[in-house]
Chain A
Amino acid sequence: MSGTFVGMPAFPEAAREAVGNATLRGNLRHATHTIRAKRARAVAELSDWAELREAGRRIKDHTLRHLDRYLEQLEESVTAAGGTVHWAADAEEANRIVTDLVRATGESEVVKVKSMATQEIGLNEALEAAGIRAYETDLAELIVQLGKDRPSHILVPAIHRNRGEIRDIFTEEMGTWGRPAPEGLTDTPAELAEAARLHLREKFLRAKVGISGANFMVAETGTLVVVESEGNGRMCLTLPETLISVVGIEKVVPSWRDLEVFLQTLPRSSTAERMNPYTSMWTGTTDGDGPSTFHLVLLDNGRTDTLADTVGRQALRCIRCSACLNVCPVYERAGGHAYGSVYPGPIGAILSPQLRGTASEIDASLPYASSLCGACYEVCPVAIDIPEVLVHLRERVAEGGPAVRQGNRVLLKPAKGHAAERAAVRAARWALAHPAALRTGQRLASRTRRLHPRTLPGPGRAWTGTRDLPPVPAEPFRDWWQRTHGGKDTSK
């Protein structure tokens, strides 16, 4: 749904509005705290969690360092198993490939498994423009689609909606997309799920084309893996005659055995379960079982640019579990929409500005959408050092420097709006190199502390617009140290 995000205000502005919405904050707080506590219990069950996390990190790092080799191997395996592999350098090309493939089947509607990659490239909108209707079949995605809304969480995209809102959306919108909601639908989750079951089943049973992403692709065997809970994924991967999977190139793992790591860490990190209810694995096509035609679209769309950044490339280890969202104090208050991208939360704050570049205001603001508390790094099952990448991206935004965009080396200019910050840092550098001047300045500041304004004037106003100005102490630290002999006051 990238198109929807064009013109999105920068993070601070969007977050301020979200924080003022009491319902949203209540929903988010309840949801994130519930998953957070459950996840901690699920992880504690495995005494070798640290080793699994380290193995996951190493597998992903190794794969990224030899990505060309493993993609070629994957292509070979998928082709040998009866699939067709396509390569897409960007969103537009991926959308064109998929649209052409659907058109070739003669169908004008498709069923979709929830997929971050297809959201990232705005596939539903591209298909709609080509006269093809794409039905989202994950319950939360259905709620979002019917509500003409945007997802706000990687795992539970309708986390910002409560049951009453969902009931209203179903009652009003289901009829325009297919089977209407039952008369007298209440807001109990069981009834709402049943309404979705009936609404979608007619679509599953007649669908000829299914579109999915994948959680993993095994280079060695050509196997694709989709994990899910509801069975809508199984429906889309099993019943249609044609299956088209759009998958980011970073989702490849070298060997079948590697799945033993991720099938232990992913469910526990994401839904806090020992295992998600359903996992489907398919290798090309199988006679008489599942789609008879299988297309794999390998998507770049900024991933190779991310790979070129030696600090930022670790973001490509992400397995989209969303654990970092649920522990993030900033996400918990601002919600997913404020991030203005399909990848919200801490991982979104480092992934989106790398995939899309930092040219837009929202992308330049994302590396700042963090308190750098480090909770996201703690829970990450592939040990992505998100704070490290955030700081690195902040530096790039403020200072500019070399980067790769669409495969080309470019020199980024410093972003607008950071001039005051740069001036402040320059001034600080000078002051710290001149101790006498620093001491005089500090004493002056202490003596005039009662006269200080609560917000900074001039270019500093932007900084204090979102922060409280720290109070200046009554005397500088160095004066205090000298007076008390480093805390050992002899008068005692």
Chain B
Amino acid sequence: MSSRERVLGRIRRALADVTPDGRPYEEAVGRGYLREHGHRTTEETVELLAENLADYRAIVHRADADDVRMLVMRLLARRGSQEMLVPPGLPPDWLAAADPVWIHDRAASTPQQLDRVGSVVTGCAVAIAETGTIVLDGSPDQGRRRISLIPDHHICVVRVPDQVVSSVPQALERLDPTRPLTWISGPSATSDIELDRVEGVHGPRTLEVILVSGAA
């Protein structure tokens, strides 16, 4: 007997006391909880996102679609990054024409190559106001999971209000489970040493989020 049959057989014998229940799953499990917590206007939802991002030590900026390019430039200059990693489908509007050097992620890029780059800029799939979370789904403007992980500085551009939802349930509705998903709430952190929170162990130590309005 294969282990598969053995385990499934044990389960069936273990559940001998359970009477068959023909009800469909969604009926069997009541969902009396809320779809979102409290009532907010669109502006208030974006405001809450900004607050909760900042509460988790992300640095939050706001910009109009026309200003994103200059803002990205300033953030990189402040950081002193000479090279900047970008996913293949990042909107060209967000990329400055001059320095620094833009490095496009390619399938052939090795982890070691990515490790030499200081900053990365990506878009996002959705942002959750109640938890201060941005979600990346590997779309062309976000790139492979590794590029938002290895560089020490991550700039993420969120289109507001289109990409902002209030709550976790609303975010899951928008996401495609078959895509590789990364949920990010603040920069990498640890509390393993006497529960003192330290930012940045393995992921980016600095997360900057640009809330851009008026972008297509």
Q: Give me the interface of A with B, judged by CB distance under 8 Å.
A: 27, 30-31, 34-35, 45-48, 51-52, 54-55, 58-59, 62, 65-68, 71-72, 81, 87-89, 93, 137-140, 143, 156, 158, 162-163, 166, 189-190, 192-193, 196-197, 200-201, 204-205, 218, 221, 223, 229-232, 234-235, 237-239, 249, 254-257, 259-261, 263-264, 271, 273-283, 286, 288-290, 298, 300, 304-305, 307-308, 310, 313, 404, 407
Also in contact, A35 and B195, with CB within 8 A (given A274-B52, A274-B185): yes
B28 contacts A27, C-beta separation under 8 Å: no
Extra inter-chain contacts (18) besides given A162-B194, A288-B144, CB under 8 Å: A54-B30, A54-B32, A55-B30, A88-B3, A89-B6, A158-B192, A158-B193, A201-B202, A223-B178, A230-B189, A256-B177, A259-B172, A279-B181, A281-B181, A289-B138, A308-B14, A310-B17, A407-B10
Residues of chain A with a CB closer than 8 A to B133's CB: 275
Within B87-106, which residues are at the interface with A (CB < 8 Å)? Answer: none
B202 contacts A286, C-beta separation under 8 Å: no
Instruction: Select which of B37, B185, B188 is within 8 A of A47 by beta carbon.
Output: B37
A404 contacts B191, C-beta separation under 8 Å: no
| 4 A-B pairs with the lowest CB-CB distances in the bound complex, closest first | A231-B203, A231-B202, A308-B14, A304-B10
Residues of chain B with a CB closer than 8 A to A46's CB: 37
Q: List 23 A-B contacts (CB under 8 A).
A: A45-B37, A51-B34, A65-B21, A71-B11, A139-B192, A156-B191, A197-B200, A204-B111, A229-B191, A229-B201, A239-B111, A260-B168, A260-B172, A277-B184, A278-B185, A281-B183, A282-B180, A286-B138, A304-B7, A310-B17, A404-B14, A407-B6, A407-B10
Also in contact, A51 and B172, with CB within 8 A (given A193-B190, A221-B177, A273-B185): no
Residues of chain A with a CB closer than 8 A to B11's CB: 67-68, 71, 249, 304, 307
Residues of chain A with a CB closer than 8 A to B107's CB: 288
Residues of chain B with a CB closer than 8 A to A35's CB: 195
Residues of chain A with a CB closer than 8 A to B146's CB: 238-239, 289
Residues of chain B with a CB closer than 8 A to A289's CB: 138, 144-146, 180
Contact flags (1/0) for B27-52 with A, using CB distance below 8 Å? 01111111001000000000000001
B130 contacts A231, C-beta separation under 8 Å: no
* Distance of A253 from chain B, by nearest CB (Å): 10
Instruction: Select which of B10, B192, B202 is within 8 A of A234 by beta carbon.
Output: B202
Instruction: Select which of B28, B187, B192 is within 8 A of A143 by beta carbon.
Output: B192
Closest to B1 in A: A89
Number of interface residues of B (CB under 8 A): 70
Decide if B78 is an interface residue (CB 8 Å cutoff): no
Cα A68 to Cα B8 in complex, Å, equals 6
Residues of chain A with a CB closer than 8 A to B195's CB: 30-31, 34-35, 156
Decide if B18 is an interface residue (CB 8 Å cutoff): yes
* Distance of B110 from chain A, by nearest CB (Å): 8
Residues of chain A with a CB closer than 8 A to B186's CB: 277
* Distance of B19 from chain A, by nearest CB (Å): 9
Cα A254 to Cα B138 in complex, Å, equals 25
Closest to B25 in A: A254
Residues of chain A with a CB closer than 8 A to B188's CB: 229-231, 277-278
Residues of chain A with a CB closer than 8 A to B172's CB: 256-257, 259-260, 263
Cα A286 to Cα B137 in complex, Å, equals 12
Also in contact, A193 and B30, with CB within 8 A (given A156-B195, A229-B188, A229-B190): no
Decide if B131 is an interface residue (CB 8 Å cutoff): yes
Cα A92 to Cα B186 in complex, Å, equals 40
Cα A326 to Cα B3 in complex, Å, equals 37
Cα A139 to Cα B202 in complex, Å, equals 10
Residues of chain B with a CB closer than 8 A to A279's CB: 181-183
Q: Give me the interface of B with A, judged by CB distance under 8 Å.
A: 2-4, 6-15, 17-18, 21, 25, 28-34, 37, 52, 56, 107, 111-112, 115, 128, 130-133, 138, 144-146, 149, 168-169, 172, 177-196, 198, 200-204
Residues of chain A with a CB closer than 8 A to B179's CB: 283, 286
Cα A30 to Cα B182 in complex, Å, equals 33
Cα A72 to Cα B8 in complex, Å, equals 9
Closest to B183 in A: A279
A55 contacts B29, C-beta separation under 8 Å: yes
Cα A189 to Cα B7 in complex, Å, equals 45
Residues of chain B with a CB closer than 8 A to A201's CB: 115, 202
Also in contact, A280 and B145, with CB within 8 A (given A89-B6, A274-B131): yes
B177 contacts A286, C-beta separation under 8 Å: no
Residues of chain B with a CB closer than 8 A to A162's CB: 194
Residues of chain A with a CB closer than 8 A to B144's CB: 288-290
* Distance of A370 from chain B, by nearest CB (Å): 25
Residues of chain B with a CB closer than 8 A to A143's CB: 192
B17 contacts A58, C-beta separation under 8 Å: no
A407 contacts B198, C-beta separation under 8 Å: no
Cα A445 to Cα B168 in complex, Å, equals 63
Also in contact, A140 and B192, with CB within 8 A (given A62-B29, A277-B186): yes
Cα A143 to Cα B194 in complex, Å, equals 12
Residues of chain A with a CB closer than 8 A to B185's CB: 273-278
Instruction: Select which of B33, B128, B202, B203 is within 8 A of A52 by beta carbon.
Output: B33
A255 contacts B6, C-beta separation under 8 Å: no
B178 contacts A221, C-beta separation under 8 Å: yes
Closest to A235 in B: B202
Also in contact, A65 and B15, with CB within 8 A (given A259-B172, A274-B131): yes
- Among A158, A197, A290: residue with most chain B CB under 10 A: A197
Also in contact, A189 and B196, with CB within 8 A (given A156-B191, A279-B182, A280-B145): yes
Cα A365 to Cα B115 in complex, Å, equals 50
B29 contacts A196, C-beta separation under 8 Å: no
B34 contacts A48, C-beta separation under 8 Å: yes
Closest to A156 in B: B192
* Distance of A298 from chain B, by nearest CB (Å): 7
Cα A263 to Cα B131 in complex, Å, equals 10
- Among A162, A196, A260, A261: residue with most chain B CB under 10 A: A260
B202 contacts A308, C-beta separation under 8 Å: no
B2 contacts A87, C-beta separation under 8 Å: yes
- Among B8, B29, B149, B200: residue with most chain A CB under 10 A: B29
B138 contacts A93, C-beta separation under 8 Å: no
Closest to B7 in A: A300
* Distance of B209 from chain A, by nearest CB (Å): 14
B202 contacts A230, C-beta separation under 8 Å: yes
Residues of chain A with a CB closer than 8 A to B138's CB: 286, 289
